[in-house]
């Protein structure tokens, strides 16, 4: 009797594990591009500001991963294109961003830009693009008002943006036929 119960438990656990693997494989693939700093101040791209934007990008991606978002690496040519153009180039040119990430097989593309119009504020902005429909399905921004040394505000901002993305992905998934 004990052997039968253990066997059934083993089968049940195997089915649960397989269901989790299948669910992960069925979840949409998402390319997440790091935030690019669009610094419009008189002293652009201060090292401290670049570090803050790096923290914003890293935390944003970590939080998405923690929430179960199926992230795939960006296309091979993305970095070169960003280096050749302005920080807002891919944000403003969705079709180009889609083409540069075509080989990834992504369902969605998230593009971030951190706009710094003054010394007082940074506005992290994101758009989510449905690759198949070639359309923006979400556009959000936050006001990041803190000093360079205040890492907690940057971390909380990244976490909130990741929560918005996850909620939108869940809503899009629920609406899919």
**pLDDT truncated to tens, each residue of the chain (177 aa)?**
555 545 544 554 454 444 444 445 589 999 999 999 999 999 999 999 999 999 999 999 999 999 999 999 999 999 999 999 999 999 999 999 999 999 999 999 999 999 999 988 999 999 999 999 999 999 999 999 988 889 999 999 999 999 999 999 999 988 776
Q: Does residue 164 belong to any structural domain of this protein? A: yes
114: domain range? 30-171
Rounded to two decimals, the pTM is: 0.84
Q: Which residues contact 126 (CB under 8 A, 6 or more apart)?
A: 110, 111, 112, 113, 138, 139, 140, 141, 161, 164, 165
| Residue 4 within any structural domain of the chain | no
Q: How many domains does the chain have?
A: 1
Indicate whether 57 belongs to any domain.
yes
Residue 146 lies in a domain: yes
- Specify the CATH number for the domain of residue 72: 3.40.50
């Amino acid at each position: 009797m004990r052997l039968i119960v253990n066997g059934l438990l083993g089968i049940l656990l195997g089915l649960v594990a397989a269901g989790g693997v299948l669910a992960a494989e069925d979840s949409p693939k998402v390319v997440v591009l790091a935030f690019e700093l669009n610094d419009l101040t008189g002293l652009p791209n201060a090292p401290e500001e670049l570090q803050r934007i790096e923290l914003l990008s890293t935390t944003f991606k970590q939080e998405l991963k923690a929430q179960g978002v199926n992230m795939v690496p960006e296309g091979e040519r993305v970095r070169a294109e960003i280096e050749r153009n302005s920080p807002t180039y891919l944000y403003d040119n969705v079709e180009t961003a889609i083409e540069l990430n075509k080989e990834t097989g992504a369902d969605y593309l998230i593009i971030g830009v951190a706009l710094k119009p003054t010394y007082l504020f940074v506005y992290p902005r994101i758009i989510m693009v449905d690759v198949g429909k070639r359309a923006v399905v979400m556009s959000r921004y936050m006001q990041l008002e803190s000093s360079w040394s205040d890492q907690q505000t940057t971390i909380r901002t990244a976490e909130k943006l990741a929560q918005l993305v996850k909620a939108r992905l869940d809503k899009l998934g629920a609406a899919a036929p």
